[in-house]
Structure 1
Amino acid sequence: MKRRTFVQRIGSILAVLGITEAEWLAMGNSYYQALAQPTPRKLALLIGINQYRKSSSLSGCLTDVELQKELLIHRFGFQGSDILTLTEEQASREFIEAAIVDHLVKQAKPGDVVVFHFSGYGTQLPGELETLQNALVTTNENQEPPDSQIANYLLEDTLLVLLRSLSTNHVTAVLDTSYSLPSTTQPSGLRLRTRQESATTQLAAAELDFLKQIKTQPELNPVVVLSATSEPQQAAKEVLMSGFSAGLFTYALTQQLWESTPATAIQVSLSHVANSIQQLGSKQQPKLLSKKKNQPGVVTVDNLLPDSRSGAEGAILAIEEDGKTAQVWLGGIPTQVLEYYSANSRFSLATGGQLVVRSRTGLTAKALVSKVADTTPLQVGQLIQETVRVLPRNINLILALDNKLERIERVDATSAFAGVGHISTVVATEQPADYLFGKLPQTPSRYGLFTLGGELIPNTDGGVGEAVKVAAQRLSAKLATLLAAKLWRLTQNQGSSRLPIKVTLEIVSNISPRVVMQQQTIRTLDTETAAKKSLNNPIIPIGSKIQYRVQNLSDRPIYFMLLGLKNHRSAIAFYPWQTPQEPNPDTQPQLQQVIIAPNETVTLPQTTPASGWVVSDAASTWEHQLIFSTAPFNSTLDTLEKAKYSAGDQQPIATLINPLEVGQALLQDLHNSSAIKAEMNPTATDSYTLDVSNWASFNFSFQVA
């Protein structure tokens, strides 16, 4: 399309939006070229705003745009020229609406795929009949003068009307924002993507007029909307990682979709996304707000993902030093693992090539090309799959000190926690952290331990007037438990494991077991069956008996271990007690390895036909990490046996007395099972080397109510 034709076509839109042709063309020739492409294709409009004229800055919205762009190009086959990004000062209401109309509405044809993404502030404004309207806060928030109460925002209704007017029925909108602040103010180590408007704020007349005009157009198709939150009072949050910030929802969603295969349902992805968000310290629950026609309950991403594409942990972004090194994108590494992903980790290519990580900065890494297929040269865009994960042995639990603490309190806390082993302290929202130390909002003279999202961890609040140093000593055992959980979460590799295993969580009943959740190693199995049986944020009734059904679909025997947390409070473990055949008061039960033979299915526990683990403690969150290995867990069982248990504690699943030592032993066992460690660096003693061919690890989280 000629430039003159393009400008003429968009002129009427600009007139409605109240901007000039010169302002539009000032956005640059590359922006024009992206809009002017005429051929049917996969189209995307990605919007991210960190810097606002009046609001405090956000940190992760531009990263969100980058996360989505790399995902769409390398996993979903989008052309870079068909992805339009509007960031910072480009993302005004007028430019966003013009871009939707011309880049999406006017170009999308039946069968095309369209993705819209927004990361930034959301808010609510008064509407008709005392209702509230959801709005996306654009970069030019308020019209002049600076103190004007006229809000130049993009209404969510306007966005949805525009997207529903597209000629294609393959439209997805991802909204990493929220509209109302939580009713209570809790300590937080995460930045919120929502803001409160004053009672006198009014929406710009131009936006209301534009909505009135487009409402006369026919709505051709429904839109799939993926929202960062599921409840009005939930807030979308950002997480600070090493070297970057990102929206919790976008980060977890894109990571999950890197691993997805064409048969994976969106609901399953959102279930895993919610789990990842929870592990990063927030109860924020994403939601599928609308479904396509004729697809009740299941919305797939198969229209986006080519059937020939398998899961991946990233892709090659650039080839350097005459093909000796490559810059790689690591968007598919599990969110809780990336922070500790270390040098000498390895990836494979479909062509047979191998890459070895030399350094990492944020989401990108520099890798040495250690092996290249003879006939296929290295290429930008090639997908990479994890083969070896290297983790440091020296891992601390990082505590953020709440900004509401007085200076002397922060000094005392830094000194006190320095005396607790494996604990580091940072200032909240300035550096990555695992948990937050602060005051109880209701009783400022009491200290407690919080998730980054502001949830008080049960039984961590102290008495009135407690000294900071006393609080640090009181929390030392709890911190060791949380560090242990951090260690075993680092083993999670459902996407990259080469062990074919399927695990189902069931509620035991007198009739037949009821499936609650099901997970399997994506790289080795068809995921269609699991997609139909997984639930988002599952709730198990208090008093239920649960069991795990494990299918070993490999040709090797595998060993099993279960560790976990109950309500962030106490560590638990599965204890495989071996009871003597002939009872003897002098003979104590011994722990034994749980071995699952090739092609065998077992249920755990295995005591009686109607047995199971009874889940108690209503309004609690349970988290189980199920780890499988081709080698026995010798160090882990030895560490378990060192703890002293009374006869009454010899239950299949019970409290873990020495969780940190067990977590370290678990990583050592997985390290010992990796034969490749000797080949890589036989003298290295400061890291764990884990081979994805030899272990699989799943995280099951559920609510008890």
Structure 2
Amino acid sequence: MGLSHYNIFDKGNRYAQVLAQDTPRKLALLVGINYPNNNNLNSLNGCVNDVDLQQELLIHRFQFKKSDILRLTTKESLQQQPTRNHILTAFEEHLIKQAKPGDVVVFHFSGHGYRLLDPHPIQNCDNQQFNDDYNSTFVPVDDTLNGSPQDIMGRSLFLLISALKTNNVTVVLDSCFSGGGTRGNYQVRSAIRNNINTLEPSQTEIAYQESWMKRLKISDSEFTRRRCNGVAKGVILAAAQRDEEALDAPFDGFYAGAFTYAMTQYLWQETDSVRNAIAYISPTVKSTGGHSPFADGNQNQPVYFIDNKLLSTDAVITKVKGNQANLWLGGLNNKSLATFNKDATFSIVDATGKTRGKLKLESRDGLKAKAKLVDSKENIISLKPGMLLQESSRVIPADLHLSVGLDSSLGNEISIAETELSQIYRIKPVPALKDNISYPAEVQLILSRMTEEYLQILKQQKVENIPAVGSIGLFTQGLQIVPQSFAEKQESIKTAVCRLEPKLKSFLATRLVEMTLNKNSSKLDVEVSMNLVEQPNQPFAKISTLKSIYPQTKLPLNKSFQFQIKNNSSHSLYVMMLLIDSTGSLTVIHPYPWTNFNRGMLLASNDTLIIGEPNKPKLQAVKKGLAQALIITSRSSLDKAVHALKRIESELKTQKTNQNKCFVDQTRGAEVIEDLINDLSGERSGKNAKTREIKTSNIATVSFSFEVG
């Protein structure tokens, strides 16, 4: 394959640029395939957006030149469609021919994965994961030819990476070969194929591999030796383990790979080693759909082999017209994204973190927004693309709610479920689309019956204590069981909704608190660490509003643990803390029940609060699963928020001890939720307030997501 078959590059200009440069060059090939109008494969929604996420990050965070990034997506021109030929030729011409020793190379693939028989299977590696008769593949947009798969095998990728002249190589793979189809409200990035008549690779693929083996002068035995040693060069970042599913997920106004969004959002905020980055984003990705990202190769190097010590960034200006600007919001946490709409504000910051102006949002579409300059300080003459932004304030929308998908398994009772759920304050029922393919937008939970199909899926995932077929309960939108949400299979839908009301309020309250998460933008200087009581000076997780993060490790079962919260601010702060277990139930662990709330919540400047001291009620994890700690610190009193959360906690406990009864307060949650919103925003406005502003100068909310086991 030569340039005559690939009319993307101006080769004269490209090679002239290489010769003119003394500093390391940064090259990227980004592939995103949504498979539109393909009758053979499930279409995806977020793979092209993954390329956008990666490109904006590389340009504005890692200083890649746009001209050195090549996109092959199903939204590009015909010459840049992600066909098999285009992908391989682009790798050769854009990466192999141009990269010199010391340069930086990034290859990203988002799309379907698959598995084909390996003509030369590896069988004798000490590491058993490499011994397999099959080889993972990437499915191009032209997925078949005359019934033969046109896939690019992992073996081919290994050879292409081996041909690069630099060792600074990062391969990002947001695909999988396990599962397929839909998982609740997600699409699995694994191909289900009924249009191929063989599991053997094409003769074209075999010939391509043989060609590279000759060019690299690698024998079969030498290839096996190298493959048994691990990656060819650099590091590979993958969305899921071998037997797990990579998910195409809906967020607030857009779709993306759960892994790619979590990774790129983290890298806007932190520049860290590969090992620490994977450790930090793993709980986030796992809570989304149960899969665990992993890295293979040189994990002690900084991500993309670029050691940038940069300020945390929430957004960047991409286009300017006068005082109007288009923004990319790639650094915002997906849990708080809904609070960044009209009237939210961002500060323009320079390299030292000093504010040079302020922008106010006028509208938002997914991660793209329009804003106007409302405050210009010295040294800001005009807006410019590339200016970095940090959050100044966010706005809790008036129509904020918890979306609950209604699974088609509810059958004729869907309308009853819709009516019953609508009576609970800020709970929004969302019926499934036709054939239960998915929901029209992001949902936080799915109300469903346990079906035989779901039972088999859960068995394949080795889930324990699966509820009986026919029983009603809650799933996450990734079709993970919400523990303790299912009851007897004879239960009516009306009784089930009533029984689940306290749990739904708990999820709603947690969603509200999570919308205030602002570790990277809060102006309050707060530091929180987590440790075992028996090891008070050895934190296994640490988070700060102004500093880097320690990666988390698993919390052992039946071991007492504690939190230490230090107020480094120049003024006292009110502190509230809650734990969310794997069932979605919340527990307020500070202030303690007997404390005078206001006095007991106040943490003086430079003081440290220890929650879980030996002489106080013990904090112990007694069940395996994912858990979360939420710590809220505020310059304003949080007494109403505490009372609101404790009322929800009390309802949960009452319901748990009276499984067959339902307890409904007269306001259906309106009073407690409004009290919570008002305290979090520092306002005392009534229920009719349209929106509530949250300023980074008034509140800091941080979160630990951790695994117990």
Q: Against the structure 1 CA distance between its residues 410 and 670, is the aligned structure 2 distance closer, same or farther, given a 3 Å change threshold?
A: closer
Q: What residue in structure 2 maps to residue 343 of structure 1?
A: 342
Q: Does 1:254 align with 2:252?
A: no
SS at match of 1:203: coil
Q: Against the structure 1 CA distance between its residues 664 and 161, is the aligned structure 2 distance closer, same or farther, given a 3 Å change threshold?
A: farther
Give me the whole-angstrom Cα distance separating, in 2, the residues matched to 1:366 and 1:571.
37
Q: How does 1:128-147 map to 2 (within 5 A)?
A: 128=120, 131-143=133-145, 145=146
Q: How does 1:255-654 map to 2 (within 5 A)?
A: 255-261=265-271, 264-278=272-286, 281-291=288-298, 298-301=300-303, 303-304=305-306, 306-307=308-309, 309-320=310-321, 323-350=322-349, 352-376=356-380, 377-406=382-411, 408-426=412-430, 427=432, 428-440=438-450, 441-442=454-455, 443-509=468-534, 512-521=536-545, 524-525=546-547, 527=548, 530=549, 533-535=550-552, 538-577=553-592, 592-606=599-613, 608=615, 613-639=618-644
Paired residues of 1:546 and 1:612 also in contact (CA < 8 A): no
Paired residues of 1:313 and 1:386 also in contact (CA < 8 A): yes
Paired residues of 2:562 and 2:613 also in contact (CA < 8 A): no
Amino acid at match of 1:260: E
Amino acid at match of 1:176: D
More deviation, 36-45/356-365: 36-45
Q: How much has 1:375 moved relative to structure 2?
A: 3.4
Give me the whole-angstrom Cα distance separating, in 2, the residues matched to 1:513 and 1:368.
48
- RMSD (CA atoms): 3.2
Q: Against the structure 1 CA distance between its residues 176 and 141, is the aligned structure 2 distance closer, same or farther, given a 3 Å change threshold?
A: same
Give me the whole-angstrom Cα distance separating, in 1, the residues matched to 2:551 and 2:103.
29
SS at match of 1:47: strand
Paired residues of 1:481 and 1:660 also in contact (CA < 8 A): no
Q: How much has 1:405 moved relative to structure 2?
A: 4.8
Q: What residue in structure 2 maps to residue 47 of structure 1?
A: 31
Amino acid at match of 1:341: F
Q: What residue in structure 2 maps to residue 654 of structure 1?
A: none
Deviations 1:187-242 (A, max 9, x none): 5111110124568322111112222332352789622111101x322101111134
Report sequence identity in percent. 28
Q: Against the structure 1 CA distance between its residues 560 and 703, is the aligned structure 2 distance closer, same or farther, given a 3 Å change threshold?
A: same
SS at match of 1:430: coil
Q: What residue in structure 2 maps to residue 244 of structure 1?
A: 254
Q: What residue in structure 1 maps to residue 464 of structure 2?
A: none
Q: Does 1:117 align with 2:108?
A: yes
Q: What residue in structure 1 maps to residue 353 of structure 2?
A: none
Paired residues of 1:328 and 1:365 also in contact (CA < 8 A): yes
SS at match of 2:144: coil
Give me the whole-angstrom Cα distance separating, in 2, the residues matched to 1:254 and 1:645.
39
Give me the whole-angstrom Cα distance separating, in 2, the residues matched to 1:204 and 1:31.
30
Paired residues of 2:509 and 2:645 also in contact (CA < 8 A): no
Q: Against the structure 1 CA distance between its residues 101 and 211, is the aligned structure 2 distance closer, same or farther, given a 3 Å change threshold?
A: same
Instruction: Choose the corresponding residue for 1:223, options 231, 234, 251.
Output: 234
Q: What residue in structure 1 maps to residue 73 of structure 2?
A: 87
Q: How much has 1:398 moved relative to structure 2?
A: 0.4
Give me the whole-angstrom Cα distance separating, in 2, the residues matched to 1:492 and 1:301.
24
Paired residues of 1:615 and 1:704 also in contact (CA < 8 A): no
Q: How much has 1:49 moved relative to structure 2?
A: 0.3
Q: How much has 1:170 moved relative to structure 2?
A: 1.7
Q: What residue in structure 1 maps to residue 161 of structure 2?
A: 163
Paired residues of 1:458 and 1:568 also in contact (CA < 8 A): yes
Q: How much has 1:512 moved relative to structure 2?
A: 4.9
Paired residues of 2:645 and 2:676 also in contact (CA < 8 A): no
Paired residues of 1:179 and 1:232 also in contact (CA < 8 A): yes
SS at match of 1:494: coil
Paired residues of 2:170 and 2:304 also in contact (CA < 8 A): no
Q: How much has 1:431 moved relative to structure 2?
A: 1.6
Amino acid at match of 1:350: V
SS at match of 1:65: helix
Paired residues of 2:338 and 2:397 also in contact (CA < 8 A): no
Give me the whole-angstrom Cα distance separating, in 2, the residues matched to 1:302 and 1:133.
26
Give me the whole-angstrom Cα distance separating, in 2, the residues matched to 1:342 and 1:175.
32
Give me the whole-angstrom Cα distance separating, in 2, the residues matched to 1:410 and 1:51.
32
Give me the whole-angstrom Cα distance separating, in 2, the residues matched to 1:592 and 1:513.
28
Q: Does 1:24 align with 2:6?
A: yes
The TM-score normalised by the length of structure 2 is 0.82
SS at match of 1:312: coil
SS at match of 2:678: helix
Q: Against the structure 1 CA distance between its residues 236 and 403, is the aligned structure 2 distance closer, same or farther, given a 3 Å change threshold?
A: farther
Q: How much has 1:275 moved relative to structure 2?
A: 3.2
Give me the whole-angstrom Cα distance separating, in 2, the residues matched to 1:460 and 1:291.
42
Structure 2 unaligned segments of length 5 or more: list them.
Answer: 122-131, 218-225, 351-355, 433-437, 456-467, 655-663
SS at match of 2:349: coil
Give me the whole-angstrom Cα distance separating, in 1, the residues matched to 2:113 and 2:649.
53
Give me the whole-angstrom Cα distance separating, in 1, the residues matched to 2:254 and 2:649.
44
Q: What residue in structure 2 maps to residue 194 of structure 1?
A: 190
Amino acid at match of 2:116: L
Q: Against the structure 1 CA distance between its residues 575 and 354, is the aligned structure 2 distance closer, same or farther, given a 3 Å change threshold?
A: closer
Q: How does 1:50-69 map to 2 (within 5 A)?
A: 50-51=34-35, 53=38, 54-69=40-55
Deviations 1:594-640 (A, max 9, x none): 333323333223463xx673324322322111111223323224546
Q: Against the structure 1 CA distance between its residues 178 and 168, is the aligned structure 2 distance closer, same or farther, given a 3 Å change threshold?
A: same
Q: Against the structure 1 CA distance between its residues 260 and 601, is the aligned structure 2 distance closer, same or farther, given a 3 Å change threshold?
A: same
Q: Against the structure 1 CA distance between its residues 404 and 124, is the aligned structure 2 distance closer, same or farther, given a 3 Å change threshold?
A: farther
Paired residues of 2:502 and 2:648 also in contact (CA < 8 A): no
Deviations 1:536-578 (A, max 9, x none): xx32222110101222222222221112311134211114348
Q: How much has 1:270 moved relative to structure 2?
A: 2.4
Amino acid at match of 1:423: I
Q: How much has 1:461 moved relative to structure 2?
A: 1.5
SS at match of 2:706: strand
Give me the whole-angstrom Cα distance separating, in 2, the residues matched to 1:375 and 1:104.
40
Q: Against the structure 1 CA distance between its residues 37 and 339, is the aligned structure 2 distance closer, same or farther, given a 3 Å change threshold?
A: farther
Q: Against the structure 1 CA distance between its residues 98 and 373, is the aligned structure 2 distance closer, same or farther, given a 3 Å change threshold?
A: same
The TM-score normalised by the length of structure 1 is 0.82
Q: Against the structure 1 CA distance between its residues 107 and 330, is the aligned structure 2 distance closer, same or farther, given a 3 Å change threshold?
A: same
